[in-house]
Amino acid sequence: MTVYTDIALLVAVVKQAGGDPACVPSGLDRLRQRLIADGQVFPNLLYVYRTEKRTTSQTTTASTQPRVRRLLAFLSADAAVSFAQCTGLARSPRLVALSPARLLAVFIRQPDFVALHIAYDDMPATNGLPNGWHLLRADVLALFAVEANPA
């Protein structure tokens, strides 16, 4: 996928979610500016650790309650693998590389994501998550004028 295709995807997802597609460039720019202000380089790709899908027996007890999930994205593949191995999340971490636009589209499209956490490579992990920028779902949606809880 090219950057332009990923931006077109984000525009479509924002529009489908009831947001303003004209906010996509400024939303991406705000993301870039915040990372730069925090001393980070705006990446061409972010890396997410993919967990295995739950089996039927695992989802039986969880089906009564909605699954609360955070999307944890890393600025480098090495940091993502290191975090997964150190925390015992999986024996063999599966990474997916996503452009910032595609990452945001995935986040907006999945209503069970309650927060996006962008982990900074050079800071140690605290409280179970690596230090970084933590955005609640409403914060991400506000970047694109999407209502957090449409009626």
Residues 107-150: pLDDT tens digits? 999 999 999 999 997 666 667 788 899 999 999 999 999 997 75
The arithmetic mean of pLDDT across residues 56-82, rounded, is 73
Structure tokens at 122: 């050079």
| Rounded Cα gap, residues 12 and 133, in angstroms | 25
| Rounded Cα gap, residues 77 and 108, in angstroms | 23
Lowest average pLDDT, out of 21-25, 50-54, 65-69, goes to 50-54
**What is this structure's pTM?**
0.85
The arithmetic mean of pLDDT across residues 86-99, rounded, is 78
Q: Does 60 score more than 50 pLDDT?
A: no
| Rounded Cα gap, residues 135 and 53, in angstroms | 24
pLDDT of residue 112: 92
The arithmetic mean of pLDDT across residues 36-61, rounded, is 74
The 3 state secondary structure assigned to the chain is CCHHHHHHHHHHHHHHCCCCHHHHHHHHHHHHHHHHHCCCCCCCCEEEEECCCCCHHHHHHHCCCCCCEEEEEECCHHHHHHHHHHHCCCCCCEEEEECHHHHHHHHHHCCCEEEEEEECCCCCEECCEECEEEEEHHHHHHHCCCCCCCC
Q: Does 58 score more than 50 pLDDT?
A: no
- Residue pair 22/14 in contact (Cβ under 8 Å)? The answer is no
Q: Does 91 score more than 80 pLDDT?
A: no
pLDDT of residue 71: 93
Dihedral sign of CA atoms 92, 48, 148, 18 in order: negative
pLDDT of residue 122: 62
Percent above pLDDT 70 for the chain: 78
AA identity, residue 111: P
Percent above pLDDT 90 for the chain: 59
Lowest average pLDDT, out of 38-42, 70-74, 102-106, 123-127, goes to 123-127
